[in-house]
Structure 1
Amino acid sequence: MILYKTVDLFAGIGGIRRGFELTGKFKNVLSAEIDKYACQTYAHLYGENPYNDVTTEEFKKKVESTDYDTLLAGFPCQSFSRAGNEEGFKDKTRGTLFFDIADIIERTRPKSFLLENVDNLLSHDKGKTFKIILETLCLELNYKVIGVEIDETGNLIYENSNFMRNSKNFGLPQNRPRVYIMGFDKETFNEKIENLPYVELPRVRGKDPIINSLSDAIERGTSKEFYVAQGYLNTLKKHRDRHKNKGNGFGYMVLNLPGEEKQYSNALLATGGSGKERNLIYDPQPDFYGLMVKGKQTPLNNEGIRHMTPQEWGRLQGFVGYAFLNENKVDSFSFPEGLSNTQKYKQFGNSVTIPVIEEMAQFMIQCLNFLESRH
């Protein structure tokens, strides 16, 4: 069995790595993450400390001396400079984290890569940011990016929809559109890459859903700490009403009110805040109504409204109940002891939906099998 070696940049808690590992065809050999708490969870899950800073020359030298095939990166989106064009991508992207990815790709020439980012990347700076990224990868670094063609005059031809995929189509009930960019090295695969028959990233999960409905992701009878204080709930209602009066659709959302059940959750966000407020749950436990709970300024609400738990977020991202099941279907996912709920929400919200990544990895294997075949 061929094992491709991966380098995992901006690793978070290893969601992209895990999606690739689930195929049985990829093995991770180097990781990079600088968030203290994400590093703790990563080490807890994989038995290795990923602490490395992608932006440093020390780390780039480490990648140069590492034998690997595939670069993985869920990189943060930053504003790009519109500086001069003397150095191509180095000039246009300097000071951004994409520059560091491009620099590592140029130095090490991996056979393939998968980059992941928020959906706003497509519209950022009226599409100029995304265009610079694709021009860098295709024209400067000479990679074939799935979903991009180059015309006779060297202009890129692509549709934004070629790169947008949504978690709700990959077996989990979460509305989470994200951008995925996959590329293969023209210098490694030469003319064969022009005959690659796989021209579109997967749009759906090729197997049965992992969770059939949103209600299946929800656990009943959680502890009182997750219930919303009445004063806070009143504030959320006032905030929503204010926006509603202005014609805006912002505001909190309860996903499973009787008769109003939603099919999908809203996107889980690393900031917690709106990611939590737009994913509230109706889970009545009358014994909790009116209780004072440490850390809350007013009594618990008497409407049965609570936040989702970190465990529920983990299910919607494919960490809990899927990606870490052993051969006996026992779930081995856990966080390090003592990690706060705030960090758990942040880590899940910052992560990828693992089954989407798994599908991308399966697609990459198909491409690599074709490119590396002898005929």
Structure 2
Amino acid sequence: MYRTVDLFAGIGGIRRGFELTNQFETVLAAEIDKYACETYKHLYGDDPFNDVTSEEFKEKVTRIDYDVLLGGFPCQAFSIAGKKEGFMDKTRGTLFFDIADILKRTRPKAFLLENVEGLLRHKKGDTFETILKVLVQELNYTVIGVRENSLVPEELEYNSKDFLVNSKDFGLPQNRPRVYIIGFDKNRYGSLTTDLAMKELPKKRPGEPMYKDLNDLLEFNANQEYYLASGYLQTLKDHKNRHRGKGNGYGYIVVNEKGIKNPISNALLATGGSGKERNLVYDPQDGIGGTVVKGKQTPLNDEGIRMMTPREWGKLQGFINYGFVKDGVDQFSFPSKISKAQQYKQFGNSVTIPVIEVMAKEIGNTLDKLEAAIQTKTSNDIKTEVMS
């Protein structure tokens, strides 16, 4: 069983994906959002409240015996380095620097880092390249998808698209491309990482999809509170028409609109309005249109358009109906005091659990091979020494 440390843990999506493989156990977590901490504690029984940037937490990690560092981290701008600075110095003041600092101090056998697709384009790719150079050249990890140039050692060879993995290819109807960076400790394994490590990131989940399409996942005849007020819907239409007139594609989207074959959702976002408005759904039912609902300024729309529910977001991320099913019973729940707004935020901020599970299996299998090879090499070295 490999032991993991879970940074920027949110509500534990990465943790859950790893634990589903039965190859990993979590020994420490870090999260500073108080509402996410409440949900995390509710789900796992552990309080993750720790600040990754603090010296106190970093010292705590150095005292932990663990194997794999996990974490999603915000994409932040790096400084312009002076001539004598290394690439790691460029990242000072960012959360990636704190990840790199913990890697340097504790040398885990492997790591998995997750980020948004925009990381690849940030600063025209310079940010992503700096991250890779820190991991490969300064910390001496083999990063999957990166080749070192034997002729020009300071240059790395890679295709940034190789780091993109999309939830829609892992059994869930959500278009959610995310960047994954996986590495193995070259100090420990040497050239074995080249010979035995996984060659590329898994891009697909084996087996049948969990849902045929978005309509198969949606829970139709939703409560009237999720339907848009007619005035609000008209505002969204006017906004979309204004942008369309300027040649822009901004605006609300009904993702399962009539005529769409095999509909899927857009990426769920932690931000309130935009994450919901680009994932509206068509769910007509009698008695909804024209209904006056407390808290809405105008009656409900008569087109059957509503927001997705938090439960549906939870299904799209693999928390509900997958990640916490035990003996046929779904055991996922939020603490009673977590508001619906927080539920949307927490699911939108999280990862898609089945994606992580597939990644974790590959990491676990690679570590098994590397550790077995290390043990064989050690045994052979001892035999050679005895014979000599």
Answer whether TM exceeds 0.5 for this pair.
yes
Q: Give 1:236's aligned residue.
A: 236
Equivalenced residues, count = 372
Q: Deviations over 1:27-81 (max 9, x none)?
A: 0000000001000000000011100000000000000000100000111111111
In 2, are the aligned partners of 1:85 and 1:91 still within 8 Å (CA)? no
2-structure distance, mates of 1:81, 1:297: 47
Q: After the TM superposition, which parts of structure 1 deviate over 6 Å for at least 4 consecutive aligned residues?
A: none
Displacement after TM superposition at 1:363 (Å): 0.9
2-structure distance, mates of 1:81, 1:225: 46
In 1, are the aligned partners of 2:271 and 2:345 still within 8 Å (CA)? yes
2-structure distance, mates of 1:222, 1:239: 26
Instruction: Name the amino acid aligned to 2:283.
Output: D
TM-score by length of 2: 0.94
**1:288 match: secondary structure:** coil
1-structure distance, mates of 2:8, 2:198: 28
Tell whether 2:184 aligns with 1:184.
yes
2-structure distance, mates of 1:197, 1:336: 40
In 2, are the aligned partners of 1:175 and 1:266 still within 8 Å (CA)? yes
1-structure distance, mates of 2:177, 2:216: 21
1-structure distance, mates of 2:140, 2:83: 18
Displacement after TM superposition at 1:85 (Å): 4.5
Displacement after TM superposition at 1:4 (Å): 0.3
In 1, are the aligned partners of 2:7 and 2:31 still within 8 Å (CA)? yes
2-structure distance, mates of 1:191, 1:199: 14
**1:51 match: secondary structure:** coil
Instruction: Name the amino acid aligned to 2:348.
Output: G
In 1, are the aligned partners of 2:279 and 2:307 still within 8 Å (CA)? yes
Tell whether 2:217 aligns with 1:217.
yes
1-structure distance, mates of 2:286, 2:243: 31
Displacement after TM superposition at 1:261 (Å): 4.7
1-structure distance, mates of 2:350, 2:128: 21
The answer for unaligned runs of 5 or more in structure 2 is 377-388
In 2, are the aligned partners of 1:255 and 1:262 still within 8 Å (CA)? no
Q: Give 1:270's aligned residue.
A: 270
Q: Deviations over 1:115-157 (max 9, x none)?
A: 0000000000000000000000000000000000001221100
Q: Give 2:42's aligned residue.
A: 44
1-structure distance, mates of 2:85, 2:197: 34
2-structure distance, mates of 1:165, 1:214: 19
Q: Give 1:247's aligned residue.
A: 247
In 2, are the aligned partners of 1:71 and 1:114 still within 8 Å (CA)? yes
Match of 1:140 among 126, 134, 138: 138
2-structure distance, mates of 1:284, 1:206: 35
Q: Deviations over 1:302-359 (max 9, x none)?
A: 1111000000000000000000000x21000000002111000000000000000001
Tell whether 2:348 aligns with 1:363.
no
**1:68 match: secondary structure:** coil
Aligned residue runs from structure 1 range 255-334, under 5 A? 255-261=255-261, 263-326=263-326, 328-334=327-333
In 2, are the aligned partners of 1:293 and 1:300 still within 8 Å (CA)? yes
Displacement after TM superposition at 1:208 (Å): 2.0
In 2, are the aligned partners of 1:286 and 1:304 still within 8 Å (CA)? no
Percent identical: 62
2-structure distance, mates of 1:31, 1:79: 25
In 1, are the aligned partners of 2:283 and 2:304 still within 8 Å (CA)? yes
Instruction: Name the amino acid aligned to 2:4.
Output: T
Distance 1:371 1:243, change over 3 A: same
Displacement after TM superposition at 1:258 (Å): 2.4
Stretch of structure 1 that moved more, 295-304 or 30-39: 295-304
TM-score by length of 1: 0.97
**2:287 match: secondary structure:** helix
Instruction: Name the amino acid aligned to 1:306.
Output: R
Larger Rg: 2
2-structure distance, mates of 1:42, 1:294: 32
